[in-house]
Amino acid sequence: MTMKIIALILFAALITATISGIFGMAGGLIFMGVIASFMGVAEAMVVHGAVQSISNSYRAYLLKGHVRWDIFLKICIGALPALVLLFLLRFVPSKGVLFMVLGLLPVLLWFPKHWITLDAQKSHHAVFLGFCVTGLNLVAGVAGPALDMFFVKTKMPRHEIVATKAIIMFASHLMKIFYFGIPMLLSAQLSGLPPSLPPWWFFVAAVPFILLGTFMGTRVLNHMSNVGFRSYTKYLVSVIGVIYVFRGVTLLGWF
């Protein structure tokens, strides 16, 4: 991996951390597309999980007084069976499939509200949320639009939504690192070849970029209205989705 590519990924980490700090999502969607363009799917999943876990944990720390821990606990219960199931299947998508799934995820945000009534504040919905988010995050690397479906009908203010989503995704990204990282390390030991990951100092260098972006994003969040917050999120991820679907179709040879 060249220095130019590493610099581009670090810049993308800064910008996407800022976006995530504002909307609580979308940044991870963009960042996955960037890094998946320069490395294999498994490697991209590990790098994405490491970078996004830093971003989400810091965002959760900045908004720690707003985290709904009761919802998070129920989500953890639902995440366990999804994690076990995917470990047994050991499914790793191709790049084409990855971009298609990434691109189609924003469609979930356009479903009429009366079609799907999901509320993370309801116990059984929170458990189901844990199952869905874990499954999507381990298959596509991103689960923001699906996660948002469970919060769009809640009566929670924007700070509680962003803080709670941040701690949920932090835990989910940690699972992603282990899910893809452990087999990668075992394969490297058997083959005698190091995994195709960025150098160790990349992860160290990424920290200040992520922290700065997250800090700037949360400052912008403080000046947004709840209505504007929800509206901007939907349109932003939809534009990204169209780009990714086209990329996925191209990689799969359908266009």
Q: Give pLDDT, residue 228.
A: 58
Question: pLDDT by residue (tens digit) across 131-179?
Answer: 998 988 888 888 877 887 788 778 888 889 889 988 998 999 899 998 8
In this predicted model, which residue has the larger pLDDT, 187 or 122?
A: 122
Query: pLDDT confidence of 86, banded at 50, 70, 90?
Result: confident
Note the residue count of the chain.
Answer: 255
Q: Give pLDDT, residue 128.
A: 94
Residue 122: DSSP 8-state: S
Q: Is the pLDDT of residue 104 over 90?
A: no
Domain count, the chain: 1
Q: What residues make up the domain containing 141?
A: 3-251
Q: Give pLDDT, residue 237.
A: 79
Nearest of 159, 144, 176 to residue 26 by alpha carbon: 144
Angle, CA 59 vertex, CA 13 and CA 20 arms, to 5°:
45
Structure tokens that stand for 169 in this block? 């995704």
Query: pLDDT confidence of 123, banded at 50, 70, 90?
Result: very high
Question: pLDDT by residue (tens digit) across 33-59?
Answer: 999 999 888 899 999 999 888 888 888
Angle, CA 65 vertex, CA 235 and CA 216 arms, to 5°:
45
Q: Which residue type does 15 have?
A: I
Percent of residues, the chain, with pLDDT higher than 70: 93
Least confident span in 104-108, 158-162, 197-201: 104-108
Tell me phi and psi for residue 157, to 5 degrees: -70, 165
Nearest of 25, 31, 22 to residue 51 by alpha carbon: 31
Question: pLDDT by residue (tens digit) across 8-30?
Answer: 999 999 998 888 777 766 788 88
Q: Is the pLDDT of residue 255 over 80?
A: no
